[in-house]
Structures are given as C-alpha cells and as structure tokens.
Amino acid sequence: MAKPKNNGIPRRDFLRTAAGAATLAATPAVPTKLPPERGATTPPPLSPEAEVGTPSRAEVLTAERTGSDFMVDVIKSLDIEYVCSNPGSSFRGLHESIIHYGGNKNPEFITCLHEESAVGMAHGYAKIEGKPLLVFAHGTVGLQHASMAVYNAYCDFVPVIVIGGNIIDATKRMPPVEWTHSVQDAAAMLRDYTKWDDLPISLPQFAESAVRAYKIAMTPPMMPVVLIADGELQENPIPADAKLGIPSLALATPPQGDSAAVAEAARLLVAAENPVLIVDRAARAAAGMPLLIELAEALQAPVVDMGGRMNFPTHHPLSQTWRAREEIGNADVILGLELADFWGAIHSYRDQMERTSRPLTKPGTKLISISSTGLFFKSNYQNFQRYPEVNLDMAADAQATLPALIDAVKKQLPASRKSVLQDRGTRLAAAHQQTLQNFREAATYAWDASPISTARMCAELWAQIKDEDWSLVSTIQFVSRWPMKLWNFDKYYQFIGGSGGYGVGYGAPAAVGAALANKKHGRVSVNIQCDGDLMYAPGVLWTAAHHRIPLLTIMHNNLAYHQEVMQVQIMADRHSRGVDRVKIGTTIDDPGIDYAKLAQGLGMYSEGPISNPRDLGPAIHRALDVVKRGEPALVDVHTQPR
Ligand SMILES: Cc1ncc(C[n+]2csc(CCOP(=O)(O)OP(=O)(O)O)c2C)c(N)n1
Ligand SMILES: [Mg+2]
C-alpha cells in the first residue's frame, strides 16, 4: 500500500493520479464530477487534531476502496434519499464515502447542528414519505444527544435508521478522545426504545444487517432501529479476497386480521345501534384515508380522530371528533383502529389531589381493537398506556385489515338496515355542520385582540394557503387545535400527527424533515411553531436555509412554556396560593426572544414580531412568496397563550 506525501491533494483526487492509482486494485464507480454542494465554498484545510490526536494526512494509509465505500453501496441499494447528521470522527469514513464515492446523492448529506434535530428531521420525513431516512450519530455523545428524538419516534411508531460510530478494538483507539467516545455496547442506551440493533463485525454482516434493519423498521409496528458501524470496518481497505454481496430487500407485508375475527367484528358493527369508529394511527399511507371513508360510509358511523395521523377528512359529515364524548357515551360497539391509548379514549380523567377516572362508555359496550402495536412490546418505558378491557382484539395492521372488514360489513348488511343507517347519517351530518358553525363563531371571539388569538392566527394562515397544495407539518394541540376546526383537511399529507413521546423539541426538526420530504412534490409546507419547542435546538432553521428547504414557519410566540404555566397554576390553586408567581420558571420573557432576528441570523427570510392582527395576513403573504420560490421563511407572531 502506498504512503502518499502530504502534498495537499485530497485523497480522492490523489487516487485518480497515476502515482496513486498504479498501486491500487480495481476501481469502483467514483463519479468524476461531483455535484456542488449548495451554498458551499472551498472547504478549509483539514485539521483533525482536536478530535483524533495528531495524525497528519501523510501518515494515513491510502486505500482505493475502503469498507465505508461498500457500506455506501449497501445504503444505496435501500434507496435512501438523505442522511441527516452532525459530523463526528467515529463515522468519518462513512461521511467521506457518502460525499465522494456516493456522489452525495441518494443519500445526500444534510448538515444538522444537533443530533436530536437529525432524528427529529428523520421522524417528520418518514411521516410524509412513508419510509426512513438515515441518521449518522457520533459514538456515545452523538447517540446521547439523539436519544430523546429516538424515543419520540419509537412512541410514534415511525421508522428511522440510526448508524452510530464506535471503535471496537481497544488497541486501535487513538488517545484520548476515541476512548471517551467508544463503548462496549453503543446501542445499549437506545435499546429500551428501539426495535432492533446490531453491531456488524464484517462487511458481509454489515450488508445483511443494514437490509434487515430497513425491513424491521418498516414492518408494522414500525420503529427506529440502530446499527453500529465500527470505525475500523469503515476505514480499512476492503480485503482483496472479500466476497461481498448485498442481500435483496422484500418488505414484509403487514399482518391482516384473522378472517374469523374480521367476520365477527363486522357482525357486531352491522348489528350495532350506535357503532363508533375511533382512529389514531390508522392511516399509515395514502391508501388509508379512502378505506376509512369507505368503512365509515358503509356503516354511516361517526369517526372520532385522535390525531396520530391524517386519518379522516375534517369536513366529512361523519367526522365527529369534537362530539366524541356524546358519541362514545351512546355507543354500543366501538371499533378502535391503531389506538395508542384505547383506555384513555374511552375514559375521562380528573387531575385532582385524589386522581380519579370514570368510563365514558355505558355498561356493556363492546370494544373491538385492530392494532399492530400489540405485536411488539418492551417493558421499561410505559408508553403502552393502561390495559384496555376489549372484547375482540386483532393483533394486526388496521390499514391492511380494512379491505377485508369493509367487504365483510357490506356482505352482512341487510337491506332492512338501510333506512336506519340513512337516518343515522342525516343526524350526524347535521351535527357536523352545527359543530363547524360553532367553531367559526368561536373563532371570532377576541378577533382584534393583541397579542393575537390563536384562532385568528390560524384563520389568517388558512386564508393565505387554502388555494395552495399545502401540508401542515406541525402539531396542533398547542393552538387549541384551531386548524382542525377551521381548515379543510382531505389529503393524507396534510397533517403529520404529533411527537409520539411528547418530548418537546420535536416540533421544529420534524417540520423541517417533513418539508424536506414535501419539497420534491412541490407542496407548501406550513409549520405552526411553539417558542419553547424551537429553543431546544433552533439551529435546525439554519439547516432549512442551508439546504433550501421551503417551509413557512409561523411562530406561536406566547413568551412561555404555557403548558407548564398551567401545570404550576393547578398546583398553586390546590393550595390557594394565587397565580402571581407561577410565571417563575415557566415564561420566556424579559427579554422576549426576537425570533425574526434569530431566523435572519440563521440565514432565513423573516418578519415580526407581529402583534397587530391586521398586519398578519400581509406578512404571511410575503413570507409565502419566499417559500414558493423554494426558500424557508418565518413570521414571528405574538400570540395569546393558547
Ligand atoms: C424534553 C421535554 N422537556 C420538558 C417537557 C415538559 N413540557 C411539556 S409542554 C412544555 C412547554 C412547551 O412550550 P411551548 O413549546 O412554547 O408550547 P406552549 O406550552 O407555550 O404552547 C414543556 C416544557 C417535555 N415534554 N419535554
Ligand atoms: Mg410557548
């Protein structure tokens, strides 16, 4: 193996020179012209001393093809579009192979300023695209930063593939930093909230494990998986006698409910006087929503949407989410589809000194569950919620089971039930219209208030985007769910649900990741961004600017962790201590953060802070123009607490 002089030629260029190539074996497909990185200038010279000791490039053995090049072949075989990452030397081999050998395309390296943002982006991306991104995380410290975001994805049943670095052979670790970032069992800290992990010790094993990881992550219940890529395996030359191959991937078909159970569920639903459908993560892809509509219409049954995914059109007459208590209280049969918390959906809970709960259902209501979540359980983290006493439980994927259930319902429905169903549909349609009307009226309260009401903010936003091909890439619970009350959601990509694990700091990166997925579809991504959430890792705004990710961010800037204001207030109320001091530790004021300046500093178009509601529409309009040109933009809005 040649030891090149440190003459300032990058390794890949060196390899293409006669002196370099002559000593090396057969060359793979290294692109001769690499696509320029957007906004990139000439890279500064390498100076890796701080991280890895004092190697100079003159001492580095040069190999034409290293293990990491082959790893990139494997990754490419999985058709992964992006790798979101904050750089770290434990995966420098993979990093370099992605950008040079792989041509920085499929996957393209997305620069993240925090590992939590990288995983959050992967989370949001998967919710739109229905497939995983790759995240590279530095050994130990990078994985530690990534961990909460991995937990969110785990609770939200979202596929993410994390590749962490490590140096397994202790005799090869450079002092001192590689020791502090190396670990016996790197995936251990994530194992309680991932579906699978592996530590391949050879390239053939890496290939098999990577393909297996993809398959496991994508099989319902979908979840994050972790691979640890040993530094030596990445950086060493591929042995001359290596027999490398990449296994083919055939995704597992999602499990469908047992046919006898499906027939029984249909019998119960058809015979019910008041059947109710409660849905949460029921529609996991584009096909889900039309199936849910078909089932609901066949039964003329109300649909209560818990909002884990974009399940059901908000303006469909059978959409009865806002009347959930009434319908659940009347129900004689309830079908729960991919409910994260069946028990919680049918109970009310009182947060008092003595915590109490009571069922919302009447005695004897039959409960049917179709959910894949029961197919995979872990013990330590308690995201599985309270035990629901269901009568018929199908451990199956709801979306995959719906076609059979719809068939069975249609077959079993006697013609004599037609008029009953029709009457039910008419009653529900009228109630639906009344609910929408009530919301439109409620939205006018405090219409001219300053700070701006969340209803007005959402109405102004809707007025600007309703004629675009839009996608709301944020949660809605912090703005009193006004978008769901006022906007017309009817496409699967128009909503991405919540964080899953309620780990705050998810919102901004998930929005940027979802917008990254929406980019090639030409959709206008819209993010209603809480102030507290953004400040966990605001650097993700720079990632959006740097990679030209079109995303319209509207700051819901209530100058507080308002949820926590309310929590402390509950405690203060219990002791009759007044509310004057509950802002201590819960507000983000004095100084208030100037989000427009923050965004500008991170390279993004911005406006605000806006306190006069009349200024809001024009500001959103200007920002939207920027987004339609392919860039992100932010409008800071001073809002009422909720
Ligand atoms: C990582 C993490 N830390 C703390 C919390 C507790 N928490 C729940 S909501 C919340 C406030 C969020 O503030 P913001 O995003 O501004 O939303 P707001 O409540 O003001 O609408 C906090 C701190 C959490 N859920 N996750
Ligand atoms: Mg807030």
Instruction: Please say if the pLDDT value at position 61 is more than 90.
Output: no
Q: What is the pLDDT of residues 284-330, one digit of tens each?
A: 999 999 999 999 999 999 999 999 999 999 999 999 999 999 999 99
In angstroms, the CA 211 to CA 78 distance is 7
User: Exposed e or buried b for every residue in 378-414, given b needs 16+ CB within 10 A?
Assistant: eeeeebeeeebebebbbbbbbbbbbebbbebbeeebe
Instruction: Name residues with Cβ closer than 5 Å to ligand 2, which is an ion.
Output: 530-532, 558, 560, 562
Query: How many A from CA of 531 to the centre of ligand 2?
Result: 5
User: Tokens 């053995």 belong to which residue?
Assistant: 61
Instruction: Please name which of 272, 270, 267 lies closest in space to residue 361, comparing C-alpha atoms.
Output: 272
Task: For residue 318, give the amino acid letter.
Answer: L
Ligand 1, pocket residues at CB < 6 Å? 148, 478, 502-505, 530-533, 558, 560-564
- 3-state DSSP assignment of residue 136: strand
Res 384: pLDDT = 95
Query: How many A from CA of 642 to the centre of ligand 2?
Result: 9
DSSP string, 232-271: HHHHSBPPTT---------PPPPP---HHHHHHHHHHHHH
Res 29: pLDDT = 40
Q: Is 20 left (phi over 0), alpha (psi -120 to 50) or beta?
A: alpha
Residue 370 dihedral angles phi and psi, to the nearest 5°: -120, 115
More confident call, 54 vs 265: 265
Query: How many A from CA of 563 to the centre of ligand 1?
Result: 6
Query: How many A from CA of 461 to the centre of ligand 1?
Result: 23
Query: How many A from CA of 207 to the centre of ligand 2?
Result: 45
Q: Residues near 190 by Cβ (< 8 Å), separated by ≥ 6?
A: 143, 146, 147, 150, 162, 197, 224, 226
End-to-end CA distance of the chain: 65
Residue 371 dihedral angles phi and psi, to the nearest 5°: -160, 140
Instruction: State percent of the chain over pLDDT 90.
Output: 88
Probe residue for ligand 1, chosen from 116, 563, 587 as the CB with the greatest number of ligand atoms within 8 Å: 563
Residue 552 in tokens: 């319209």
Task: For residue 574, give the amino acid letter.
Answer: R
Res 64: pLDDT = 81
Is residue 408 within 8 Å of 263, Cβ to Cβ?
yes
In angstroms, the CA 231 to CA 228 distance is 9
Please report the atom of ligand 1 found closest to the CA of residue 558: 20
Among protein residues, the one whose CA lies closest to atom 13 of ligand 1: 561
Burial bucket for residue 512 (CB in 10 Å: 0-12, 13-18, 19+): buried
Is residue 578 within 8 Å of 572, Cβ to Cβ?
yes
Q: Output the CA torsion sign for 203, 206, 212, 218.
A: negative
Please report the atom of ligand 1 found closest to the CA of residue 533: 15
Per-chain mean pLDDT for the chain: 92
Radius of gyration of the chain (CA): 27
**CA–CA–CA angle 388, 392, 398 (5° rounding):** 90
Is residue 167 within 8 Å of 230, Cβ to Cβ?
yes
Query: How many A from CA of 20 to the centre of ligand 1?
Result: 55
Q: What is the pLDDT of residues 561-585, one digit of tens each?
A: 999 999 999 999 999 999 999 999 9
Instruction: Please say if the pLDDT value at position 187 is more than 70.
Output: yes
Query: How many A from CA of 575 to the centre of ligand 2?
Result: 25
Among protein residues, the one whose CA lies closest to atom 5 of ligand 1: 504
Mean pLDDT to the nearest integer, 402-411: 98
Instruction: State percent of the chain over pLDDT 70.
Output: 90
Instruction: Please say if the pLDDT value at position 71 is more than 80.
Output: yes
Res 21: pLDDT = 32
Please report the atom of ligand 1 found closest to the CA of residue 502: 25
Please report the atom of ligand 1 found closest to the CA of residue 503: 26
Helix (H) or strand (E) holding 38: none
Q: What is the pLDDT of residues 374-389, one digit of tens each?
A: 999 999 999 999 999 9
Please report the atom of ligand 1 found closest to the CA of residue 504: 26
Please report the atom of ligand 1 found closest to the CA of residue 478: 21
In angstroms, the CA 397 to CA 282 distance is 8
Helix (H) or strand (E) holding 553: strand 552-557
Is residue 405 within 8 Å of 265, Cβ to Cβ?
yes
In angstroms, the CA 488 to CA 490 distance is 6
Among protein residues, the one whose CA lies closest to atom 14 of ligand 1: 532
Peptide bond into 609 cis (omega under 30): yes
Q: Residues near 588 by Cβ (< 8 Å), separated by ≥ 6?
A: 531, 532, 535, 559, 560, 561
- 3-state DSSP assignment of residue 227: strand
Query: How many A from CA of 561 to the centre of ligand 1?
Result: 5
